[in-house]
Amino acid sequence: MRDATRQPLVWESLQAAIAGRSALDILDAGGGTGGFAVPLARLGHSVTVVDPSPDSLAGLERRAAEAGVTVTALQGDAGDLADLLPAASADLVLCHSVLEYVDDPAAALASVHTVVRPGGVVSVLAANPVATAIHRALAGNFAEAADVLRTGTWGEKDPTPRRFTGDTLAALLSKAGFTVGEVQGVRVFTDLVPSRFAEDDPDGLVELERVAITHPVLRDIATRLHLLAHR
Ligand SMILES: C[S@@+](CC[C@H](N)C(=O)[O-])C[C@H]1O[C@@H](n2cnc3c(N)ncnc32)[C@H](O)[C@@H]1O
């Protein structure tokens, strides 16, 4: 799993959202092996990861031990947060690359809402079907590109069960009771340019992505869409 440093602009957005606040209660729903949870714990926050995968939680515990921090690992489903954690107990909840896999994204976000404190923030990151359509088309898979635009998946072999447009994500968050911020497009160019260009000038690419992240046209073709929303 990616470390937060591999997603520098999502990390920057989170940092800006909690700027100047210390010792926060943070929940990473579907946090996997702790790519964000462990760096957040290193900043002094109190971090809990809820994830159904025992293997991921074991990886999280190893990563936390290597970093010399403690992260609370709870096995569970994003839809059951209300049973696992006290209501209104988190200042920040991460829900990154998880809504694609849960049984019911609306129920999962309703569950997230119960654990966010009034004034608290949820950070949602999700796969964008438009980017996948571009990638499938560039690989010559035109029918799959059309399918992913129509249905959010490109076929039976697609490992991602569903994808979301910015509008769909914003509507889901709104319906769950959140006040939704701006849609950000994460990885507009990174997955399109040849990797040798990215390796030659990584800082230039991040700077380009920083300009593209809220660009009104380009953000809609990004590999992932990121939204911050407030309770
Ligand atoms: C693509 S990984 C993302 C991990 C991490 N959030 C990240 O951004 O790197 C998807 C994660 O969602 C978890 N997951 C799958 N179904 C879930 C569910 N119903 N509730 C919570 N997490 C779930 C998986 O175990 C896995 O750790």
Predicted local confidence at residue 6, as pLDDT: 77
Please work out whether the CB of residue 179 comes within 6 Å of at least one atom of ligand 1: no
pTM: predicted TM-score of the whole model, two decimal places? 0.96
Backbone angles phi, psi at 120, to 5 degrees: -75, 175
CATH of domain 4-128+164-230: 3.40.50.150
97: helix, strand or coil: coil
* C-alpha dist (Å) from residue 226 to 14, 54, 68, 102, 146: 10, 27, 29, 17, 24
Q: What is the pLDDT along the chain (231 residues), one digit of tens a residue?
A: 467 767 899 999 999 999 989 999 999 999 999 999 999 999 999 999 999 999 999 999 999 999 999 999 999 999 999 999 999 999 999 999 999 999 999 999 999 999 999 999 999 999 999 999 999 999 999 999 999 999 999 999 999 999 999 999 999 999 999 999 999 999 999 999 999 999 999 999 999 999 999 999 999 999 999 999 999
Domain with CATH 3.40.50.150 in the chain: 4-128+164-230
Do 124 and 169 form a contact (C-beta atoms < 8 A)? yes
**Mutational pocket test of ligand 1: of 13, 71, 77, 101, the residue with most ligand atoms within 8 Å of the beta carbon:** 101
From the CA of 32, how far away is ligand 1's center (Å)?
Answer: 5
Nearest ligand 1 atom, CA 78: 20
From the CA of 27, how far away is ligand 1's center (Å)?
Answer: 13
